[in-house]
Amino acid sequence: MIDEQSEVRLREAGEALTLTIKSGHGLAREENEVEIDRATFDDLWPETAGRRVEKVRRKIGLGDGLTAELDRYSGDLEGVAVVEVEFGSEEEAEAFRPPAWFGRELTGDRAWANQNLALRGRPAKGLEFRLRPGEDPAAGICRVITARAAQAAAAVRQAGTAEDPAEPVHEARKSLKKARSALRLLRAVIPDSGRKAANAAWREAAAHLSGARDAEVKLETLSKAVDPRARTAGSGRWRGELESEADAHRNELTPEGLAEIEAAIDGVAREFRGREVPGPTEQVAGNAGRAYRRGRKAMKRAGRSSAAEDFHAWRKRAKDLRYQLEILEPRLPAAFEATRERAERLADLLGDLHDLDVLAEDLAGRGLDEPDRSHLEGLITEARDHQIELCLELGARTYADKPKRFTNRIGEALSDAS
């Protein structure tokens, strides 16, 4: 009585017995419900064996005539909680801004629909941002993009109510980077105009959030680079200035500004929500190989120049490799897990190096006395040289394969799994 496109639901809620027919997914759905008597219910009930869910529903008023229905599941779905709001039109749904407690939006992800929860149980947590069994790679990547964008939007909402927004802002920016890396897997799979527009919009949203996080990172990096026992009056003054700037950036994150950022993130995410775009697996594999090849070239360029901008470019490519392998990992041989783990560690090392370079650039613009400046420059340079050695050593192991061989291995794995 249940398939992928429709649902026939038998419900007992207190004394009320109903039979409901639903069709469609996402924002627009048709629903017809009729009351039935006990005898009819008892006749139909055995047909639902193995396809039942138990939940307690709580209705919460949201204002403006809207009501949230919070379902807390029990039995095999113990711990699952899903909230749903019904709207009169798609326009009304798109204009709605959820409260912070809503968490990540699930609209368009069929795995969370009641019929799939009844048939298959809770979606595997480890596959929320990875390809699921039987999922077309391109369609699965669209789902992951939607989930990452929804995760970013939820973090922005939390920043609006948090006493210290630094952590949710950091999480929002990370989620947007992961969504943008996933977009690169769809090169030549979806129209380039839409893909580039989404990338630009999410890059701009992340830039609006960067001030608060960047100031926090400078403080953290200064603490690591300068041993407390070696601190001077100059480093103390610098720290004080950074703390003042961090406070100022936190105050820039107004509820109105955050709401605009959330709306911008979600507006683009809607383009990928529930999107079915079966694409050739060789194109997806080629895009993963392209990220690998670009990272390998960036590593060689950075090794030759030692320039901050070249290491920063390499860092972005290492992150692409890490995030893209994470998405594809369920379809890949176990050996790719080690590559993904190395790429993750490499991106972290390159991130620490970038933080040192940003700190050095910041120091150059401070009006510190020359002895203090020289002392701090020496400490940062020493830490940077050591970090470069670590990055190049791990990079050589991460990019050990020739790009063509790497791409072919990805392509073979995706083809075999489809």
Work out whether strand 16-23 and strand 30-35 pair parallel, antiparallel, or are unpaired.
antiparallel
Decide: 259 and 97 in contact? Cβ < 8 Å. yes
CB-based burial, 321-355: b 16+ in 10 Å, e otherwise? bbbbbbbbbbbbeeebeebbebbbbbbbbbebbbb
Segment 383-396 mean pLDDT: 98
Query: Per-residue pLDDT for 304 more than 90?
Result: yes
Q: Is 253 a residue whose pLDDT tops 70?
A: yes
Supply φ then ψ for residue 19, to 5 degrees. -120, 125
Confidence of residue 303 (pLDDT cuts 50, 70, 90): very high
Per-residue pLDDT tens digits for 129-173 = 999 988 999 999 999 999 999 999 999 999 988 888 888 999 999
Q: What pLDDT score was predicted for residue 26?
A: 55
pLDDT at 229 exceeding the cut of 60: no
- Work out the average pLDDT over 169-187: 96
pTM of the model: 0.87
Cβ atoms within 10 A of the Cβ of 244, count? 11
Mean pLDDT of 103-129: 85
**Integer Cα distance of 151 and 87 in angstroms:** 22
Residue 280 has pLDDT above 90, yes or no: no
Q: Residue 50's pLDDT is what?
A: 78
Q: What does the angle CA 404 – CA 408 – CA 412 come to, to the nearest 5 degrees? A: 175
For residues 350 and 212, give the distance between their C-alpha atoms in angstroms, rounded to a whole number. Answer: 21
Whether domain 281-418 has CATH 1.20.120: the reply is yes
Q: What percent of the chain has pLDDT over 90?
A: 55
Average pLDDT over residues 394-404: 97
CATH superfamily of 6-126: Hypothetical Protein Pfu-838710-001 (2.40.320.10)
Q: Which of 32-46, 177-191, 268-282 has the highest mean pLDDT?
A: 177-191
Most confident range (mean pLDDT) of 209-213, 248-252, 341-345 is: 341-345
Confidence of residue 415 (pLDDT cuts 50, 70, 90): confident
- The domain ranges of the chain are 6-126, 281-418
pLDDT band, very low/low/confident/very high, at 12 (cuts 50, 70, 90): confident
pLDDT of 2: 47
Mean pLDDT of 346-369: 94
- Could you read off the pLDDT of 206-226 as tens digits, one per residue? 999 988 778 889 999 998 888
Looking at every residue in the chain, the average pLDDT score rounds to 89
The domains spanning 6-126 and 281-418 adopt the same CATH topology: no
Q: What is the pLDDT of residues 70-112, one digit of tens each?
A: 999 988 889 999 999 988 888 888 888 899 889 899 888 888 8
pLDDT at 177: 97
